[in-house]
Amino acid sequence: MQFTRDLAVAFGDWLEREQIRRALLAERPELEGELLLDPERPLLRVLRGGSGPVIVARVEEADGEGGWLVGVASSLDPVLREASSPVEAARLALEALEPCPLAG
């Protein structure tokens, strides 16, 4: 069986999303049940209780190159950070899940 290019890319994206999910759970097992995988896109949401979710999504540039975006949904100051690898995306998501040091 041979994959079409689109199928191979989609499979690779799925594998990378799974790598990110496993890295998050390895560091923060309490996130089990808080990680929502999108059934159609290489995207996952990490629920954070009272604040907006952390969103990790695969993006592709016009030249075919891609990476990952880690977004922190917040009504006051949403943040987007680029990651060049699944490992970096997991690290950024874990950083976003850390409580703010100024929070009481």
Q: Return all residues near 23 (Cβ < 8 A) that are at least 6 apart.
A: 86, 87, 90
Radius of gyration of the chain (CA): 14
Distance from chain centroid for Cα 82: 10
When the pLDDT of each residue in the chain is averaged and rounded to a whole number, the result is 85
**76 or 95: whose pLDDT is higher?**
95
Q: What's the pTM? A: 0.83
Check residues 50 and 30 and name the one with the higher pLDDT. 30
- Which CA distances in Å does 94 have to 10, 59, 66, 102? 25, 19, 21, 18
Q: Is the pLDDT of residue 100 over 90?
A: no
Q: Over 50: is that where the pLDDT of 102 sits?
A: no
Angstrom distance (rounded) from CA 47 to CA 59 = 21
pLDDT the model gives residue 51: 76
